[in-house]
Amino acid sequence: MSAPFQPASIYANHADPSVRVMIAPTKYIQGPGVLNSVGSLVQQLGFRKAGLLASRRGHTAEAATAKAAIEAAGVAAAPTVFGGESSLPEIEARVADLREQQVDVLLAIGGGKPVDAGKCIAERLGVPVIIVPTLASNDAPCSALSVIYTEDGVMAGAEFFPTNPIAVIVDTEVIARAPERYLVAGIGDAMATYYEAKVCAKNADARNVLGTRPTLTATMIGQLCADTLYEHGEAACASVRDGKVSEALEHIVEANTLLSGIGFESGGLAGAHGYAQGYTVLPEVEENYLHGEMVGMGVLAQLMMEGNPDEARRAGEFFARVGLPIHLGQMGLSASQTEKIDAVVQGAMSFTPFSNLPFEVDADKVKQGMLSASEMGEAITAEQGEEAFLRIR
Ligand SMILES: [Zn+2]
């Protein structure tokens, strides 16, 4: 394989740090039943044989719908079964399978892991990728990067790609049928978009994921994302409980998938995703909590570290209403577990975008942010209860 793609080596002009870059998927298609139109899309884009990456379960559900639609449009389909982990051995196995079948486009269908793996597989095959998320739980579908894990599921790094997916197709009927906890996790992940992009916009030394300054557009996408979540989040959760698509659900799916995806990549990351990475070093957290739940905890801690307790409280009260964890106890941890807390702090500080914060970050500040956010979360739980948190688990 050639040298890994490094976006900063192309986009960032280090002699002139004012360069600003924004990237995005070519097409974003969202609505009830849109999966049925994937056949005409693939056919009109001129593809002849589409690889279909999905889990064994996926091949009996959404991937089966996609396969029928593709074949009805006169395009051949080549299914391959995803083993469950976005790891290098799994990626190589699927590449070998699909290379033999000579596909000219790949559809990655499923949750965060097949989406991440699908981008890597398409890159190695030299074909474009179409992402079909079946959950609105994370910010992965729209970006030009993938997270790679070991075979045991520990985060091992990231790969960057020259292009974003050529299409992201989100069928909201599929999202409405998924468990509520996934949509809620996506809300936690998406909320970070605003607070992290805001830090990057204000700090002239901060850089987005591409190694450049953010555009005004990407920063405003973060703002729109948070406004949408605060306004429609609870109603969207109610729709998923009823298994029904609604206008509120459409808005939240867009926030969780499109706004969150473009927003984190081109608007920039900061503390919230650093704390999330920190939590993944504890196996009991990594196994039992979703990315967006850890990011939500990180949002509160970042805001406390920034000295913005009023905004932290606003976010914390909203998180409690939708059922995100807001204190260490809800993550199965406690402030007295010094070794574990210190491990999270060290994991968080190893996250490069932490340095986008406009002040010197040291272990003490990171720990204080986390513990004071947790105390605030306990106070909110005492006032509001934890009905939503318990209901969706
Ligand atoms: Zn995220």
CATH classification at residue 91? 3.40.50.1970
> How far is ligand 1, taken at its centre, from the CA of residue 137, in Å?
9
Same domain, yes or no: 148 and 164:
yes
- Measured between alpha carbons, how far apart are the two ends of the chain, in Å? 43
C-alpha to C-alpha distance for 290 and 82, rounded to whole angstroms: 20
C-beta separation of 265 from 7 below 8 A: no
Question: Do residues 149 and 222 share a domain?
Answer: no
Residue 208 lies in a domain: yes
* Sole residue written with tokens 């953010």: 214
pLDDT tens figures, 54-109: 999 999 999 999 999 999 999 999 999 999 999 999 999 999 999 999 999 999 99
Contacts of residue 57, Cβ cutoff 8 Å, sequence gap at least 6:
none
Same domain, 156 and 184: no
* Distance (Å) from CA 256 to ligand 1 centroid: 10
Distance (angstroms) between ligand 1 centre and the Cα of 46 equals 33
Looking at the 3D structure of the chain, how many domains does it have?
A: 2
> Under a CB-based contact definition with an 8 Å cutoff, are residues 296 and 184 in contact?
no
Last residue of a domain, one of 154, 175, 196: 175
pLDDT at 2: 63
**273 Cα to the center of ligand 1, angstroms:** 6
d(CA 338, ligand 1 centre) in Å: 26
User: 158 has which bridge partners?
Assistant: 147
Q: Is there a single domain that holds both residue 212 and residue 118?
A: no
Q: Based on the domain organization, do 23 and 142 belong to the same domain?
A: yes
Q: Let me know whether 27 and 84 are in one domain.
A: yes
- Residue 18 belongs to some domain of the structure: yes
d(CA 55, CA 370): 36
- Whole domain around residue 21: which residue ranges? 7-175
Tell me the one-letter amino acid at 385: G
Do 195 and 168 share a structural domain?
Answer: no
Q: Are residues 21 and 111 in the same domain?
A: yes
- What pLDDT is recorded for position 152? 80
Residues 188, 301, single domain; the answer is yes
Enumerate residues 6+ apart whose C-beta is below 8 A from 36: 65, 69
Ligand 1 centre distance from Cα of residue 347 (Å) = 16
Ligand 1 centroid from CA 84, angstroms: 19
Average pLDDT over the chain reads: 96
Distance 109 CA to ligand 1 centre (A): 19
Longest dimension (CA), the chain: 62
Residue 60, in any domain of the structure: yes
Structure tokens, 118: 């699908």
Q: What 3-state DSSP class applies to 207?
A: coil
Q: Is 68 exposed, middle or buried (0-12, 13-18, 19+ CB in 10 A)?
A: middle
* 189 and 72 together in one domain: no
Residue 234 included in any domain = yes
Name the domain boundary from 175, 206, 224: 175
Distance 295 CA to ligand 1 centre (A): 7
Q: What is the DSSP letter of 14?
A: T
Nearest to 229 by CA among 119, 139, 112: 139
User: Does 210 lie in the same domain as 99?
Assistant: no
Q: CA 215, 217, 220: angle at the middle one, nearest 5? A: 115
In the predicted model, residues of the chain with pLDDT beneath 50 are none
Determine the distance separating the centroid of ligand 1 and the alpha carbon of 241, expressed in angstroms. Answer: 24
Distance (Å, whole) CA 374 – CA 370 = 6
- Whether residue 93 lies inside any domain: the answer is yes
The reply to whether 1 falls in a domain is: no
The answer to whether position 2 is within a domain reads no
Name the token pair of 11: 């986009």
Instruction: Kindly give the distance from the C-alpha atom of residue 209 to the centroid of ligand 1, in angstroms, as a whole number.
Output: 12
Residue ending a domain, among 143, 175, 207, is: 175
Give dist(CA 1, CA 215) in Å, integer.
33
CATH code for the domain in which residue 211 is found:
1.20.1090.10
Same-domain check for residues 225 and 359: yes
Number of Cβ atoms within 10 Å of the Cβ of 161 = 18
Three-class secondary structure of residue 389 per DSSP = helix
Q: Is the residue at 50 inside a domain? A: yes
- Determine if the pTM surpasses 0.75: yes
DSSP sequence for 50-72: EEEEE-TTGGGTHHHHHHHHHHH
